[in-house]
């Protein structure tokens, strides 16, 4: 029996698509049970609908953060979700939400954390300018992209890069490492010790 996973998005959902494709494999230990967005027009919701997966809009405007998260938790309970993946979800989660899914929330970030946390990480890399950036999958804690790191992969930054070319190259890496991290997570192969994540055989 595969593990039910929720994916939270705010945009086009290319990382969601990578997860959907990976979870379609017979060897997958996870299945996407529901996709949730705080934006009604997020194209990722349409990606879910095309696969026959419940696609739910949970608005955040005119609500307290606590009420917004309570609405999401209600959906997660409804679909018996065991793991949550943030794939371009542009809202910071509170400690109360994270306690409900203690060490069971993953996030993908377009830099080699702890470098360039927060928004516009690719532009930060160009502005610095660094020679190498990349992507990181990490557990979510109450900080801004500060949780224990699961997988990272580097991406070179070229002198003629612009934001579009760099984003494209980083996204290709994100689409690879996020499904890998989810499969490790649902298989019970990730052990958190302080700030270190060990991958168990």
Give catalytic residue positions: 109
Distances from the Cα of 162 to the Cα of 3, 8, 126, 153, 192, angstroms: 39, 28, 8, 20, 36
d(CA 118, CA 195): 19
d(CA 142, CA 131): 30
For residue 35, the cross-strand partners are 7, 55
The single-letter DSSP state of residue 52 is T
Tokens of 193: 């010790």
Tokens of 191: 């052990």
Give 158's contacts (C-beta < 8 A, 6+ positions apart). 165
């Amino acid at each position: 029996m595969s593990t039910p996973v929720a994916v939270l998005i705010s945009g086009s959902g290319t990382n969601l698509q990578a997860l959907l494709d990976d979870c379609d494999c017979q060897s997958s230990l996870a299945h996407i049970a529901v996709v949730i967005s705080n934006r009604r027009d997020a194209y990722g919701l349409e990606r879910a609908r095309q696969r026959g997966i419940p696609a739910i809009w949970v608005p955040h405007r005119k609500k307290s953060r606590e009420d917004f998260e309570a609405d999401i938790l209600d959906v997660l309970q409804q679909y018996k979700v065991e793991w949550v993946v943030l794939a371009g979800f542009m809202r910071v989660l509170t400690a109360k939400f994270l306690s409900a899914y203690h060490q069971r929330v993953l996030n993908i970030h377009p830099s080699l954390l702890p470098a360039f946390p927060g928004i516009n990480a690719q532009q930060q890399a160009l502005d610095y300018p660094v020679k190498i950036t990349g992507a990181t999958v990490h557990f979510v804690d109450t900080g801004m992209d500060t949780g224990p790191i699961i997988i990272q992969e580097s991406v070179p930054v070229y002198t003629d890069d612009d934001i579009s070319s760099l984003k494209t190259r980083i996204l290709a890496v994100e689409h690879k490492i996020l499904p890998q991290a989810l499969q490790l997570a649902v298989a019970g192969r990730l052990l958190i010790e302080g700030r270190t994540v060990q991958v168990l055989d």
